[in-house]
Amino acid sequence: MMVELHFGLLVIATLFVSLLAGSLLNVVIHRLPVMIGRAEESGNSLGDVERFDLWAPRSRCPNCREQIPVAYLVPVLSWMALRGRCRSCAWSIPVRYPLVELGAAVLAFASLVQFGFALASVPVVLCLWLLLALAITDLESGLLPDGLTYPLLWTGLLSSVLISGSSPYVSPQSAILGAVFGYLAFRLLYEAFRILLRRESMGFGDFKLASGIGAWVGIDLLLPTIIMASFMGLCVGLVLVAVRRYSRTEGMPFAPYLSLAAATAILFGDGLSNVSSSFQAIMASTLLGG
Which band of pLDDT confidence, cut at 50, 70 and 90, is reported for residue 248?
Answer: low
Average pLDDT of the residues in 228-247:
84
Q: Pick from 42-56, 80-94, 139-153 the range whose average pLDDT is largest.
A: 139-153
Task: Map out the domains of the chain as residue ranges.
Answer: 1-104, 118-290
Please compute the mean of the pLDDT values over residues 105-131 and round it to a whole number. 93
DSSP of the chain: -HHHHHHHHHHHHHHHHHHHHHHHHHHHHHHHHHHHHHHHHTTT--TTSPP-SSS-S--B-TTT-PBPPGGG-STTHHHHHTTTB-TTT--B--THHHHHHHHHHHHHHHHHHHH-SSGGGHHHHHHHHHHHHHHHHHHHHS---HHHHHHHHHHHHHHHHHSTTSTTPPPHHHHHHHHHHHHHHHHHHHHHHHHHTSS--S-HHHHHHHHHHHHHHHHHHHHHHHHHHHHHHHHHHHHHHHTTSS-TTS----HHHHHHHHHHHHHSHHHHHHHHHHHHHHHHHHHTT-
Range name among 203-207, 254-258, 272-276 with the lowest pLDDT average: 272-276
The pLDDT of residue 44 is 53
Averaged pLDDT, 272-276: 64
For the ranges 194-198, 248-252, 276-280, which has the lowest average pLDDT? 276-280
Instruction: Note the maximum CA span of the chain.
Output: 72
Tell me the per-residue pLDDT of 183-219, one tens digit each, with 9 for 90 and over: 999 999 888 888 887 766 678 899 999 999 999 999 9
pLDDT of 147-166, one tens digit each?
A: 999 999 999 999 999 987 78
Mean pLDDT computed over 215-230: 94
User: What percent of the chain has pLDDT above 70?
Assistant: 85
Report the distance separating Cα 92 and Cα 103, nearest Å.
20
pLDDT at residue 170 above 90? yes
pLDDT, residue 120, reads 87
